[in-house]
Chains A and B, each alone.
Chain A
Amino acid sequence: MPESTEQHPRELLPWLVNGTLDGAEHEAVSRHVAACAACQAEVSLLRAMRRGVKAVEPAGAGELGWQRLRRGLGGQVRTVTPRWVIPAAMAASLVIVAQAALLVTRAPETVRYEPLADPVPTEVLAQVRFTPEASEADLRALLREAGVRIVDGPSAAGVYRLAVEPDRDPEAAARVLRERSDLIPHFALER
């Protein structure tokens, strides 16, 4: 890009900062910056931006993402079934059938399950992933503080959908959740 470097090379400074300008371009832009106070300030800003961008980028989908992909490859790892497994599996099946028969011949017990909470609120707020180190108690406290509850998930990538309680402010809830990046490293508002 000789015409650019002969004029003002400001538009090339991001690539000076990331170290990818080629030899001639790098030399020309560096020479200009050495004599240009405004460019030096710009380079400082771009370096700081680069550090900031590298610091906040999300991680990937991890092992769960691989397991999901692997199912889609259509080439599941083929293993040879040992001969003893077949009669053992048949025996296990018989045990299961016998237990099921016992269960259905017993007098039915009335078991009533009460809902733990009110019906699920409808306003889905965000999609999140929790850090694997988070304890159930930590998450429960955070969700209560934010006034949200889990309404879907986890997906194969470990993503949960959170809905805000009807009487809570969605913006305040989002703020509370975002502040706990130690527990929620990935947070995305639903659009």
Chain B
Amino acid sequence: MNGESALAPDAEDTALLARIATGSEAAMGVFYHRHEARVYAFVMQRLGNAADAAEVLNEVMLEVWRSAKHFAGRAKVTTWLLGIAHNRSIDLLRRRGRRAADSLDFDVVDDRPDPGPAAVAHAQNGEYIRRCMHGLPEAQRQVVHLTFFEDLPYGEIAEILSIPEGTVKTRMFHARKALAQCLEQLGARP
């Protein structure tokens, strides 16, 4: 066991927050190392550069340090944490004078052609995926990230982003369509 806890991940996180609330720097260190990559990856989707992502990561963890005593357990710890990260990202964009862009959430019209085999093959190319993700609107990129990197249910994604569940599905729909088109086009280039 190497001294690891047998608690479920969320129970471990809740226990850590309880210790952080008492001022335990050691618990904060464990919490930080458990979640920093997750928070960093999430805010990178919104902010697009490493320095800003590192800045927001620091702010998020400082808020965890200050607010741990207020965590009520109504949501999973990761949902609470990524919700803070979402809000801090918007704060930073506003400070920088950049609009916290939201996706235009059109009604879903299912007029897509079936994905071609090229899109499937190219989706596994990391460089292609990176380029195509970069081309998505920020709000759609966040939903793709939370769905496929974090493997979160749409209800939790809605909670983190403070949007209706239907909007999560709509953003994912448009993102998936744009990604498939981008992957097809990249593969067609010589």
Q: Which residues of A contact B (CB under 8 A)?
A: 1, 8, 10-12, 14-15, 17-22, 38, 41-42, 44-46, 48-62, 65-66, 68-70, 72-73, 75, 77, 127-129, 155-157, 159, 161, 186, 188-191
Residues of the B chain whose Cβ atoms lie less than 8 Å from the Cβ of A46: 176
Q: How far apart are the CA atoms of A191 and B50 in the complex, in Å?
A: 12
Q: Does B76 touch A at the CB level, under 8 Å?
A: no
Interface residue tally for chain B (C-beta within 8 Å): 58
Work out how many contacts link A and B, with CB atoms closer than 8 A.
165
Chain B: CB-nearest residue to A10: B110
Question: Which residues of chain B have C-beta atoms less than 8 A from A69's C-beta?
Answer: 28, 32, 58, 61-62, 65
Interface residues, chain B, CB within 8 Å of chain A?
Answer: 23, 25, 28-29, 32-33, 36-41, 44, 48-51, 53-54, 57-58, 61-62, 65, 98, 108, 110, 114-115, 119-121, 123-130, 133, 144-145, 147-149, 151-154, 165, 169-170, 172-173, 176, 179-180
The residues of A that contact B126 with a CB separation of less than 8 Å are: 52, 55-56
> What are 6 A-B residue pairs whose CB atoms fall within 8 Å in the complex?
A60-B41, A65-B54, A68-B58, A69-B62, A127-B50, A159-B54
CA distance A15 to B110 in the complex (A): 18
- Considering the chains assembled together, what is the distance between the CA atoms of A191 and B46 in angstroms? 13
Identify the 5 closest CB pairs spanning chains A and B, nearest first: A157-B54, A52-B129, A48-B123, A60-B37, A188-B49
Give Cα distance in the complex from A5 to B172, angstroms.
17
CA distance A22 to B165 in the complex (A): 15
Residues of chain B lying within 8 A (CB to CB) of residue A49: 123, 129, 144, 148, 176, 179
Specify the chain A residue showing the minimal Cβ separation from B130: A56
